[in-house]
């Protein structure tokens, strides 16, 4: 329909959003359980985010990183105070944040000869060459090899494998606390705690990618809080900018002095309008009751899905954390997605058999019920069944 390069398979033309609803060019309305792949945590048209964007756009849209701007400085302080004592680097996307984390891990480890990365099967960290090197799926990786050397993939959840692989060349152990694209697979709290102990003992960094699972989605502000640990490097992106491009890497204070002027950069990173939007997003997320509300709504959705699992043999498993949920089918998830779309519901997939649900964090209980009724009807029709 246009000169767009064909790297995406898409057809729907969207023109407007409100709350958890999206509206198409042809007038159709959709309940959105994809939320722009986890970006639209506050749904569409949040008044505080909109006001912050309008106000900052009237003052200064771009300044470059040759100068300070107030929104970026305030945002760095806010993130460090919400997460852990750290210094913050801003960029514009998830893959850029992970790319920066890889560089920072190498720079921190270099003096001790630590330049290698331990990653996990089914990991997804982005599409640029560095991030792709730590992304597991051969379909994404192989057409672009040779990639960055020094990366090993270990079985997910296998602490023994990490203990055997970690050595004095390991710069960092790197993972998503909840794998997203790889099928919505939460790390157990024991696994995360084990990795934290192991990396401490063996002198490697622990880098967590919360680009998709961070900022309230799992029912805690940061997913690592479920395990009672903090990482050395943390990446954030998707929901941070309230829909504007914004990514961040937090480098724990203990390691920040290894990064010096000129080690990394980004022309647009920390853009003042995106930073102002991010501050408004964090105000909403940090308001008392917001994140516990996410956990409550997640419980309702999970309970409803478990009921559907009892009713429909097509559902093999329901898993996830908070409002990041994977429903694995015995057959293909594609027909389920198609059936939902026909009933006015948008969702996304994570692999061939997993329906991935990432509703806006502000989804209402009635909308959760509406989603469950639509899924029930789609499964009645036989979608998702074993081949
Ligand atoms: C965990 C994780 N890391 C990194 C990325 C890459 O983010 P972006 O698409 O903004 O580059 C994604 C995107 O889905 C992701 O889920």
Within 10 Å of residue 58's Cβ, how many Cβ atoms? 9
Within 10 Å of residue 237's Cβ, how many Cβ atoms? 28
H and E: helices and strands count for the chain: 13, 17
Residue 225 Cα, ligand 1 centroid: separation in angstroms? 20
Tokens of 77: 């302080």
- Shared domain check, 334 and 270: no
Tokens of 13: 């033309």
**Residue 214: pLDDT band with limits 50, 70, 90:** very high
Residue 9 lies in a domain: no
pLDDT for res 175: 99
pLDDT for res 279: 98
- Shared domain check, 310 and 216: no
Domain edge (last residue) among 224, 257, 286? 286
- Shared domain check, 197 and 122: yes
Nearest to 350 by CA among 132, 136, 157: 136
What tens digit of pLDDT does each residue of 24-39 get? 999 999 999 999 999 9
Residue 36 Cα, ligand 1 centroid: separation in angstroms? 12
User: Which amino acids bring their CB within 6 angstroms of ligand 1?
Assistant: 37, 93-95, 98, 124-126, 176, 180-181, 209, 211-212, 237
pLDDT for res 61: 98
Mutate which of 237, 240, 247, 356 for ligand 1? The one with the most ligand atoms within 8 Å of its CB, which is 237
- Shared domain check, 340 and 278: no
Q: Hey, whose CA ends up nearest to atom 8 of ligand 1?
A: 94
- Shared domain check, 309 and 185: no
Sign of CA dihedral 143, 147, 152, 158: negative
Nearest to 116 by CA among 159, 156, 148, 164: 148
Mean pLDDT of the chain: 97
**Residue 1: pLDDT band with limits 50, 70, 90:** low
pLDDT for res 137: 97
For residues 233 and 177, the answer to whether their CB atoms sit within 8 Å is: no
Within 10 Å of residue 56's Cβ, how many Cβ atoms? 22
Domain edge (last residue) among 286, 312, 335? 286
Please report, for residues 9, 25, 94, 248, 387, the alpha-carbon distance to residue 211 in angstroms, rounded to integers and kept in the order given.
23, 30, 6, 9, 34
> Among the atoms of ligand 1, which is closest to the Cα of residue 176?
1
What tens digit of pLDDT does each residue of 298-326 get? 999 999 999 999 999 999 999 999 999 99
Taking the C-alpha atoms of residue 73 and residue 66, their distance in angstroms, rounded to an integer, is 13
Mutate which of 102, 120, 126, 268 for ligand 1? The one with the most ligand atoms within 8 Å of its CB, which is 126
**Residue 21: pLDDT band with limits 50, 70, 90:** very high
Residue 127 Cα, ligand 1 centroid: separation in angstroms? 8
Residue 37 lies in a domain: no
Nearest to 106 by CA among 123, 130, 142: 130
Residue 385 lies in a domain: no
Residue 304 lies in a domain: yes
- For residue 211, is the peptide bond before it cis, meaning its omega torsion is within 30 degrees of 0? no
> Which residues have a Cβ under 8 Å from the Cβ of 114 and sit 6 or more positions away?
108, 168, 169, 170, 171, 203, 204
- Shared domain check, 343 and 277: no
What tens digit of pLDDT does each residue of 103-150 get? 999 999 999 999 999 999 999 999 999 999 999 999 999 999 999 999
Residue 338 Cα, ligand 1 centroid: separation in angstroms? 24
- Shared domain check, 354 and 211: no
Residue 156 lies in a domain: yes
> Among the atoms of ligand 1, which is closest to the Cα of residue 131?
4
3-state secondary structure of 281: helix
Residue 362 Cα, ligand 1 centroid: separation in angstroms? 22
- Shared domain check, 298 and 282: no
What tens digit of pLDDT does each residue of 256-312 get? 999 999 999 999 999 999 999 999 999 999 999 999 999 999 999 999 999 999 999
For residues 229 and 192, the answer to whether their CB atoms sit within 8 Å is: yes
Domain edge (last residue) among 247, 267, 286? 286
- Domain with 300, as residue range(s), is 14-32+289-380
Residue 7 lies in a domain: no
Residue 38 lies in a domain: no
Mutate which of 94, 100, 356 for ligand 1? The one with the most ligand atoms within 8 Å of its CB, which is 94
> Which CATH number is 301's domain given?
3.90.1150.10
- Shared domain check, 65 and 98: yes
Residue 271 Cα, ligand 1 centroid: separation in angstroms? 19
- Shared domain check, 340 and 307: yes
Taking the C-alpha atoms of residue 76 and residue 89, their distance in angstroms, rounded to an integer, is 8
- Shared domain check, 294 and 223: no
Tokens of 172: 């960092």
> Which CATH number is 177's domain given?
3.40.640.10
Residue 267 lies in a domain: yes
Residue 136 Cα, ligand 1 centroid: separation in angstroms? 13
For residues 316 and 345, the answer to whether their CB atoms sit within 8 Å is: no
Tokens of 169: 């060349």
- Shared domain check, 301 and 253: no
State the total domains in the chain: 2
């Amino acid at each position: 329909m246009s000169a767009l390069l064909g790297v995406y398979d898409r057809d729907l033309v969207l023109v407007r959003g409100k709350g958890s609803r999206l509206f198409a060019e042809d007038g159709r309305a959709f309940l959105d359980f994809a939320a722009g792949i986890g970006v639209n945590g506050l749904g569409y048209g949040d008044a505080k985010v909109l006001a912050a964007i309008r106000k900052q756009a009237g003052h200064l849209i771009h300044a470059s990183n040759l100068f300070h701007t107030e929104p970026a400085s305030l945002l760095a302080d806010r993130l460090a105070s919400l997460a852990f004592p750290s210094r913050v680097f801003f960029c514009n996307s998830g893959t850029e944040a992970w790319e920066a984390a890889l560089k920072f891990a190498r720079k921190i480890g270099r003096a001790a000869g630590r330049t290698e990365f331990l990653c996990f099967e089914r990991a997804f960290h982005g599409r640029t060459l560095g991030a792709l090197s730590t992304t597991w799926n051969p379909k994404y990786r192989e057409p672009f090899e040779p990639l960055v050397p020094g990366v090993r993939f270990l079985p997910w959840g296998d602490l023994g494998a990490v203990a055997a692989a970690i050595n004095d060349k390991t710069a960092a152990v790197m993972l998503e606390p909840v794998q997203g694209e790889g099928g919505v697979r939460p790390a157990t709290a024991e696994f995360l705690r084990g990795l934290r102990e192991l990396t401490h003992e063996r002198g490697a960094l622990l880098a967590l990618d919360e680009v998709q699972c961070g900022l309230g989605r799992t029912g805690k502000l940061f997913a690592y809080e479920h395990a009672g640990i903090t990482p050395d490097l943390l990446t954030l992106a998707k929901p941070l900018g309230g829909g504007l491009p914004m990514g961040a890497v937090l480098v724990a204070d203990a390691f920040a002095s290894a990064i010096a002027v000129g080690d990394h950069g980004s022309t647009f990173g920390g853009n003042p309008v995106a930073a102002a939007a991010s501050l408004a997003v964090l105000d909403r997320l940090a308001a008392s009751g917001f994140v516990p509300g996410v956990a409550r709504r997640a419980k309702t959705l999970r309970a409803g899905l478990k009921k559907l699992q009892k009713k429909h043999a097509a559902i093999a498993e329901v898993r996830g954390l908070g409002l990041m949920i994977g429903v694995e089918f015995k057959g293909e998830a594609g027909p389920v997605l198609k059936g939902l779309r026909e009933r006015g519901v948008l969702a996304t997939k994570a692999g061939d058999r997993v329906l991935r649900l990432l509703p806006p964090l502000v989804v209402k209980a009635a909308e959760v019920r509406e989603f469950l009724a639509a899924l029930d009807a789609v499964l009645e029709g036989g979608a998702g069944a074993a081949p």
